Amino acid sequence: MNPITVLLVEDHKIGREGFRKILELENDLKVVGEAENGRQAVALVKELRPAVVVIDIAMPMHNGLQTTRQILKALPATKVVILSALYDGASIKNATESGAMGFLHNQALAHVLSDGIREVNKGHLFFGPSIPERIQERNRKK
């Protein structure tokens, strides 16, 4: 079985290194590149054609939402998982409207990131464990 190819997009080097180390423990996932900003990410997606892009929502030179739209315009088959420190309904809505198929809190457990990559690669939406509860909570407040 061919591994799922992944591009990591995070402006903090220590974050990229951490994500890489986590994903290197998985036999079915392969990090093929890293980008520190949105412009680099779009260029690398065109060059490397990863199956999944894991991207931080808050970055310089195009945030994660803008970059997601550009990635999907360039290569529509690419799947995107957005990581965010914000974990509210508006952020989740903005991420899915940009075309992301996954949304995780950047404090998620390692196995949740790996599972999210696998699920979006299959074409499924994937949200961190407590996200559906937060969406329901927001809807009750309306």
pTM of the model: 0.89
Residues 8-44 have pLDDT tens digits of: 999 999 989 999 999 999 999 999 999 999 999 999 9
Point out which residues pair with 9 in neighbouring strands.
35, 55
pLDDT at 70 over 60: yes
Tell me the HSE value of 59 on the side-chain side, using a 13 A CA sphere. Answer: 30
4-141 to CATH, choices 2.30.31.70, 3.40.50.2000, 3.40.50.1970, 3.40.50.2300: 3.40.50.2300
Please list, residue by residue across 33-49, b when 16 or more beta carbons sit within 10 angstroms of its beta carbon and e when fewer do. bbbbbbebbbebbeeee
Residues 73-85 have pLDDT tens digits of: 999 999 999 998 8
Q: What is the mean pLDDT of residues 120-124?
A: 97
Return the domain boundaries, the chain.
4-141
pLDDT confidence of residue 132: 58
Average pLDDT score over the chain = 89
pLDDT at 52 over 90: yes
Give percent of the chain above pLDDT 70: 91
Higher pLDDT, 94 or 8: 8
Q: What is the mean pLDDT of residues 65-69?
A: 95
Would strands 126-127 and 102-105 be described as parallel, antiparallel, or unpaired? parallel
pLDDT confidence of residue 139: 46
